[in-house]
Structure 1
Amino acid sequence: MEHQTFCDVFAETAAQYPDRTAVHADGRSVTYGELLRWSNAAAGRLLKDGAVKEEIIAVNTGRTAETIAGILGIWKAGCAYVYLDRAYPKERSENIIKECRCRFILDSRWWEEMDREMILPDINLSERNCLALLIYTSGSTAKPKGVMLEHRNVMASAYNFTVFETRPHERFGVFPGFGFVAAVSDIFSTLAVGAANYIIPGTIRKNIVELEKFYRMHGICITFLPPHMARKLLAMDLEGIPLRLLLVGSEPVRNLDISKAPFCIFNVYGASEMCSMISHYEIRDAGGKSVYPVGMLNHGLRGYITDEEGNPVRPGEPGELWLSGHQVSRGYYGLPEMTHAHYVPNPFSQETGHERVFKTNDILRELPDGNLQYVCRKDNMFKIRGFRVESGAVETAILECGDVKEAVVRAFMDDGGCNILCGYFTADHKVDVKELKGKLADKIPYYMIPTCLIQLEAFPRNMNSKIDRKAILPPAELNDHKLLEELY
């Protein structure tokens, strides 16, 4: 590949478009030339202060241009970054700093003490196979784990976005939190082509009315939204909105009414361990589907759908997706046993660049047309009355029964050691759960019908706007099966 790391790409882009906006945040615009200058100044200071190759440096400047300049500067100095989200509990950030042994924290004070206008020769000590960043998983109850991403992973991820044909004059509305891997692909794929990153302020990310105003005010052409926000946007009057492309992902995408959307919509499927997008699927069905395919794998990836013994499944059967290619990350920081369990030698091929596979822990199946269908997480397959039940199959059936917007199915063990299937859902009006169970009986076997169906006002969500399944608690009547069925 001509470019070894993103720093090479950015140097060329900045030389081509020095006066074009690279980042717009907090009401101000920063050009490519300024961003290059700031990043070189940051790299120069880090090197002067003794930063060493692959040292992990914390970034704590929020959703700002300084954060992006700091990341580039860290890479130019041959180091890696970890982003400290201000939405994190203080203890979590402190634990990350301690675990990563961060000597340097790029915060607002660090930038105030530096002459960012200093003119330095272009610095670039980044290397293709060196560590670029750590992405910490949500870790709602378990300890968060850091995914080690290398520069080759960032490059592969950025170039995947060529399928969306981002153009130099366009503006990308950056929605994800900067500690979420989707932000990595959004930001750096945009900077790779000379387009502008418009950072959506944290104060409006959960307010669809203000978000839609932001898109119109700033002429946003492309943006990413999680499914629950995409549904809200698609319910609005979108006449004249400048968007040409909406990317939807981070969790299964279902039931989108795209009949009035004046832009293209893609379902994007990804993982932190693969540096974001793995596959994409253009949603063209205006009638909506209970769950959309995730499409074809990115160019350069090889996928294998395997059974519990690691053998390929028959066409159409569900199995765990294993992946190989340049997007496969290094592993989990400080967790060698977990790394060895999920990253293994490729038993199907030793083609250069595909020697290792990442076991995604996701259950998928291949459809007759070659598109992949996401089923559920491997962790969300349960044994109910001796039968294997996939949560995704039950959730899909619930969503096909009427006006249900979102559904989650969990299994909880009662005091007698039995798994009790519990379904949770949201809707715009009160739903008769007895009637809902009756409809389910026409769609799925008896053992897949949840013992209880509980309507919620809204689902709990983690910092990445995903439904926080672990925060959904069992009903108080779990051990009284008869009462459970009567109440719900």
Structure 2
Amino acid sequence: MAEWGTSSPGHLVDLLETTAESTPDRTAIHSRDGAVTYRELHERAGRLAALLRADGIGPGDVCGVLAGPSTEGVVAILAVVRAGAAYLPLCPSLPPARIDDVVVQARPRLVLSAEPTERTLTGDVPVLPLSVAEDRARDVPAPAAPPAIQPEDAVMVLFTSGSTGTPKGVVVPHRALLNRILWGQREYPVGADDRLLHHTRYIYDFSAWEVFAPLAFGATLVVGDFTAYPDFDAMAEIIQKHDVTMVHFVPSVMSGFLGRDAARQCTSLSTVFSGGESLPASLARRVTETYDATLYNQYGPTETCIDSTFFRYDPAAEDAGGVPIGRAVDGTRLYVLDDRLRPTPDGVAGELHIAGVGLATGYLGRPDLTAERFVPDPFGGDGERMYRTGDVVRRRPDGNLEFVGRTDRQVNVRGVRVELGEVEAALTAHAEVTQAVALVTDDERAHLVAWVAAAPGTVDGGTLREFVQRRLPRPFVPDQVVVGDTLPLLPTGKVDHGAVRDLVAAALHRTPGADAPGTGGQEAGGVAGEVAALWRDILEVDQVGPDDDFFELGGHSLLAVEMVSVLNERLGSAIDLADFFESPTVRTCATLIEADGAR
């Protein structure tokens, strides 16, 4: 890894500034508001960084950024990093209670907000709108010297799901991010002719590569800025319009995107990244059959900075099942160990432990949890640590790793790591719920569901979904909540998770009857009839009534995106996904279409 110092080309901040100064007139960002050159981006971020430093913000501090993928979000992130502080991403779509939990734990000195309206945060943390901050920054003189950033200084703090119901903040140091950016540039160089689709929300770690890698090496960011995400048709339109060459998808989103006719016209794509979920070989094959592009499957917990492994997919040598997660990125050591921390032979499953330059410092304010997950590395030097991922893998004879499963109750739901304990804690916070079990179904369209115990007639599944929507990020909200009197127990007194899974499966796949979903009255004609017909096809149910709930029929958020997208295409409408989520019924959907004037 390159040496550190204010003049070293290996310093991430210096890389950003050197590129901006050497290519000032090149386009750095394309968005719906127009193009921003490297000179303009450099000056805006520099002035804002000067304002932060004038307010005493620098190395060792945390500064929040409340923004979705946007020009404003990039400016704010660059400014915080150039000031020497760590940026704390806060997604505007998160429930206020979740944002408050994060803010209380992280205690940022300031939150820069791209939102057009004021927002009050818990803990008396000042919130400064970016428009106001940039106006104020015009009168602040530039500092005489850049901040002295050290390898162990934090560059970002990312919060992930917590098993106790409280999110935990991962502190990522500069050395980890720098290692990942420089390795990526060696493996798949980003050049001046590249354009990357910037659509990953900042709370997810791959967004750091989306922001820093192209701007460090002179490429162009194309900001999606979608009204509803993921809008596959809008995504394809943006890729075609700007000749996007590089894009990252979680497999579930990739599958939905490839299912659209417009996606096949995105012929400019030359590099496609997959991560966040297991990548089926069938989906990988579809990618390489659709595009003349190189496909990389990548894996890495937030605790090891974006990616720890990579696999360059070769369709000529494909295997049945899932695509391997591959080999270690530079500066990373991978250990497949048994429960006594002994290496397992090739082909024998074990827990993956990760060591090397990419490790996070630990969990913010949680030395106990840090010590539990970041343990001494028995194969490394004095003081070196390794991270216990909880992921079970096996090593193939060719040296590549295959993902097998988990050792705990953490699951992956459409690319997002979810602690089932956090979902259960949110459900049991309801006054009528005595117990809750969350799980992921094991059918072909696996999604997050929950079985709760409550007194008969006191609460229903829809009410509980609305309750947790106000407390959890959308990927953490169960697609269906099934209410019962009690939870089945094992002789030991513990919850019988196998029996719960059977109960949920029976509830979700029962034949529609007099009081079952799918019989909400005689199906309507006209627009409502077309909506109902599409729901029957997508959800694979026999009947759909006008007041049936999309999610109670077996839908989930990604299917909802697909459904709305198909309806808008078929009927020439432009209904908004957020409006549908307010009341996800056939009647509401038809009303929105008719109000839009599509018919």
* TM-score bucket (shorter structure): 0.7 to 0.9
Partner of residue 150 from structure 2, selected from 118, 127, 144: 127
Q: Report how many aligned residue pairs link the two structures.
A: 421
Partner of residue 362 from structure 1, selected from 391, 414, 418: 391
Q: What does 1:338-353 correspond to in 2, within 5 Å?
A: 338-350=369-381
Which residue of the partner structure matches residue 178 of structure 1?
Answer: 202
Aligned partners of 2:44 and 2:134 also within 8 Å = no
Which residue of the partner structure matches residue 91 of structure 2?
Answer: 85
TM-aligned CA distance change 1:142 to 1:460, over 3 Å: farther
TM-score (ref. length: structure 1) = 0.78
Alpha-carbon distance in 1 for matches of 2:78, 2:274: 27
- Bigger Rg over Cα: 2
Q: CA deviation at 1:173?
A: 0.3
Q: Which runs of 5+ in 1 are unaligned?
A: 383-397, 433-454, 462-488
Q: What does 1:28-427 correspond to in 2, within 5 Å?
A: 28-108=34-114, 109-115=129-135, 120=142, 123-139=146-162, 142-162=165-185, 163-237=187-261, 238-239=264-265, 241-254=267-280, 255-256=282-283, 257-258=286-287, 259-285=289-315, 289-350=320-381, 355-380=384-409, 404=444, 406=446, 414-416=488-490, 417=494, 418-420=496-498, 422=501
3-state DSSP of counterpart to 1:203? coil
Alpha-carbon distance in 2 for matches of 1:381, 1:240: 35
Q: CA RMSD in A?
A: 3.3
Alpha-carbon distance in 1 for matches of 2:553, 2:275: 22
Alpha-carbon distance in 1 for matches of 2:96, 2:497: 36
Letter in 2 for 1:226: V
Q: CA deviation at 1:198?
A: 1.3
TM-aligned CA distance change 1:260 to 1:72, over 3 Å: closer
TM-score (ref. length: structure 2) = 0.64
TM-aligned CA distance change 1:218 to 1:149, over 3 Å: same
Letter in 2 for 1:249: G
Alpha-carbon distance in 2 for matches of 1:66, 1:7: 18
1:190-222 superposed Cα distances (whole Å, 9 cap, x missing partner): 112111111211325311111111110111100
Alpha-carbon distance in 2 for matches of 1:379, 1:171: 39
Letter in 1 for 2:322: V
Aligned partners of 2:29 and 2:35 also within 8 Å = yes
Partner of residue 17 from structure 1, selected from 2, 20, 23: 23
Letter in 2 for 1:274: T
Letter in 2 for 1:112: V
Q: CA deviation at 1:236?
A: 3.9
3-state DSSP of counterpart to 2:307? strand
Alpha-carbon distance in 1 for matches of 2:379, 2:553: 45
3-state DSSP of counterpart to 1:155? helix
Bigger strand share:
1
Q: CA deviation at 1:156?
A: 1.2
3-state DSSP of counterpart to 2:375? strand
1:388-430 superposed Cα distances (whole Å, 9 cap, x missing partner): xxxxxxxxxx78xxxx455789999722344416387999674
